[in-house]
Amino acid sequence: MQISKKEIESVKRSYELAAVIESYGVKLTKKGSNYVGLCPFHKEKTPSFTVNPKTNLYHCFGCNAGGDVIGFVTKKEGIGFREAYEKLNGAQKSRRAEGKGKSRNTEHSDKNS
């Protein structure tokens, strides 16, 4: 099964790249209209890793890494495009599902005393 461009776009749009990157432990600081931080892909002391919240793209001036949210997850986790897409899409779905059936307490009476 092929993932359509539309599906990919919708996943990309539903994620704030800066937030996803921070969830991987990269500290970003707002600088002008961009976010900058230490690149997670190469060792550096001065931040050259830039995230543009407008385009939702990242770019590192140190090692030339760059891309979108799916590309970031692909590179950071060392997984394939499809896996990264499904991971993001799945997380999005479970977030939606949580709102519905969360109040159900799985309290089986397993007290055999």
Among 11, 18, 26, 60, which residue sits at the site for Zn ion (rule: CB under 5 A)?
60
The verdict on 24 binding Zn ion (CB under 5 A) reads no
The verdict on 36 binding Zn ion (CB under 5 A) reads no
- Long-range CB pairs of 47-51 (<8 Å, 24+ gap) are 51/17, 51/18, 51/21
The verdict on 66 binding Zn ion (CB under 5 A) reads no
Instruction: Report the residue number, 15 or 47, with the smaller CB distance to Zn ion.
Output: 47
Among 3-11, 54-62, 71-79, 87-95, the segment contacting Zn ion (CB under 5 A): 54-62
Token duo for residue 104: 């159900």
Instruction: Report the residue number, 28 or 39, with the smaller CB distance to Zn ion.
Output: 39
| Alpha helical stretches, state H, 1-113 | 5-14, 17-23, 69-77, 81-101
Among 13, 30, 42, 93, which residue sits at the site for Zn ion (rule: CB under 5 A)?
42
Signed CA dihedral, 14, 19, 73, 71: sign only: positive
